[in-house]
Amino acid sequence: MALGEFELIKRYFYQSARAFGVQMGIGDDCALLQAPEGKVIAVSMDTLVGGIHFPRNADPELIAERALRVNLSDLAAMGAEPLWFTLGLTMPKVDERWMEGFARGLFTVADEYNIALVGGDTTRGPLAITIQVHGAVESDHALMRANARVGDLIYVTGNVGDAAAALAVIRQELTVGKSAFNYFMSHYYRPQPRLKEAKMLRGISQCAIDVSDGLLADLGHICEESGVGAKIDLERIPVSTALNKVAEAEQIADWALAGGDDYQLCFTVSPDKLGQVQALIDAGKLHANAIGEIVKGSGVEVLLEGEVFEPKRRGYNHFDTDA
Ligand code: ADP
Ligand code: MG
């Protein structure tokens, strides 16, 4: 970007300094970062394009919050702790009010999760936001999609389906009262990356994914990568009280199974570690529910009271539909 680019970066993005291992952050040709000893660096990137991933006139504070939170969720799903991020910002013009809101949202989340902005690029063009996050994890504690084994139990944190309900509200397909409205919107715009949960699972779970495309689709990725199948019980899939109040069972099942954007963790635990995960759950430290089991074969089978349940939608195309 031409004149004023540096001023712009200084004013809005020169904010975080106190992160681990930052020898040089914003301001030189590269950032210089020191990896924590004995750990590997986990890297993930997501791009949000205006008019495709969010309406161009959406609140910049919410766009920034969501963009960073969604990236942090990928670190959680790998079992990594956040360290640094970079930001690619493409904008049609410099709009100071937009920038102010964007920076506010960005640093609210960055401060909450202790992740430092260490660089980026700013260009003129159609509105798009790219964030790359960097985290660290001991290599033998990374939660890999390929690590599910037959006999493992499958868990999901929190509740699923709330973000899909939020989307229905945003699209005016669902009308809800004020408190439910606030509840659903906060779940959609401010998803909570499950970093604390991921940390607790260190040494207990070897395999996780974050539920971004929908539980069936994402558990399907675990199955594919691990060369296994999964059986889950519909009645054990956790949904919120709020969701139970605003929709019928069939709609709830669809949102919980195929709705995306919840950013919960779906993880597996081998039989010898079940006591440890249950102890965390019983102590109220970990909010997670066992929803089924990893089995031989391929694809995800859903059961309702022991009978095969055929979901209305399965989610994404790369999902294995052989189940
Ligand atoms: P270069 O010409 O070497 O690419 P830039 O002028 O693009 O350098 O950037 C100068 C400094 O500002 C670099 O440290 C870069 O990482 C940082 N920077 C540029 N854009 C952003 C942004 N959107 N967010 C954070 N840092 C940025
Ligand atoms: Mg540049």
- Binding-site annotation: residue ranges: 29, 44, 46, 53, 74, 120-121, 145, 210, 212-213, 261, 316
Report the separation in Å between the CA atom of 190 and the middle of ligand 2, taken as the mean of its atom positions: 29
Please answer whether residues 219 and 291 qualify as being in contact, where contact means their C-beta atoms are separated by less than 8 angstroms: no
Report the pocket of ligand 1 as residue ranges, CB < 6 Å. 9, 13, 26-29, 87, 89, 117, 119-122
Amino acid at 229: G
| Ligand 1, atom nearest to 5 Cα | 6
Nearest CA to ligand 1 atom 6: 6
User: For residue 17, is pLDDT > 80?
Assistant: no
User: For residue 320, is pLDDT > 60?
Assistant: no
User: For residue 317, is pLDDT > 50?
Assistant: no
pLDDT at 47: 94
Q: Which ligand is nearest to the CA of 122?
A: 1
pLDDT at 315: 67
Residue 208 DSSP code: E
- Among 165, 189, 175, 178, which Cα is nearest to 243's? 165
- Among 105, 15, 90, which Cα is nearest to 47's? 90
Sequence-ordered list of residues with C-beta below 8 angstroms from that of 93, at least 6 positions apart, any chain:
124
In a mutational test of the pocket of ligand 1, which residue from 11, 29, 122, 132 has the highest number of ligand atoms less than 8 Å from its CB?
122
Mean pLDDT over the full length of the chain: 93
- Among 70, 195, 81, which Cα is nearest to 132's? 70
| Ligand 1, atom nearest to 27 Cα | 14
Give the pLDDT band of residue 3 (cuts 50, 70, 90). Answer: very low
Please answer whether residues 313 and 254 qualify as being in contact, where contact means their C-beta atoms are separated by less than 8 angstroms: yes
> Which tens digits make up the pLDDT trace of 61-91?
999 999 999 999 999 999 999 999 999 999 9
25-29 average pLDDT score: 89
Report percent pLDDT > 70 for the chain. Answer: 95
Report in angstroms the alpha-carbon separations of 282 from 98, 198, 262: 45, 17, 23
Give the pLDDT band of residue 141 (cuts 50, 70, 90). Answer: very high
Q: Which ligand is nearest to the CA of 9?
A: 1
> What domains appear along the chain, each with residue ranges and CATH number?
5-140 (3.30.1330.10), 143-309 (3.90.650.10)
Report the separation in Å between the CA atom of 96 and the middle of ligand 2, taken as the mean of its atom positions: 20
Q: Which ligand is nearest to the CA of 85?
A: 1
121-135 average pLDDT score: 96
Is 323 or 6 the better-scoring residue by pLDDT?
Answer: 6
pLDDT at 322: 37
Which token pair is 3?
Answer: 């004149």
> Which tens digits make up the pLDDT trace of 160-206?
999 999 999 998 999 999 999 999 999 999 999 999 999 999 999 99
Q: How many CB atoms lie within 10 A of CB 183?
A: 19
pLDDT at 122: 92
Quickly tell me which residue has 């709705």 as its tokens. Answer: 259
In a mutational test of the pocket of ligand 1, which residue from 12, 16, 23, 26 has the highest number of ligand atoms less than 8 Å from its CB?
26
Pairing of strands 153-157, 288-295: antiparallel
Nearest CA to ligand 1 atom 1: 29
Residue 191 DSSP code: -
Quickly tell me which residue has 């031409």 as its tokens. Answer: 2
Is 20 or 190 the better-scoring residue by pLDDT?
Answer: 190
Residue 147 DSSP code: G
User: For residue 319, is pLDDT > 60?
Assistant: no
The Cα 251–Cα 219 span in angstroms is: 20
Predicted TM-score (pTM) of the model is 0.93
Report the separation in Å between the CA atom of 122 and the middle of ligand 1, taken as the mean of its atom positions: 7
Which token pair is 319?
Answer: 């999902």
Is 316 or 246 the better-scoring residue by pLDDT?
Answer: 246
Question: What separation, in Å, do the N-terminal and C-terminal C-alpha atoms of the chain show?
Answer: 51
Report the separation in Å between the CA atom of 25 and the middle of ligand 2, taken as the mean of its atom positions: 14
Give the pLDDT band of residue 316 (cuts 50, 70, 90). Answer: very low
The Cα 301–Cα 231 span in angstroms is: 5
According to DSSP, the residues that pair with 157 across neighbouring strands are 288
Nearest CA to ligand 1 atom 19: 121
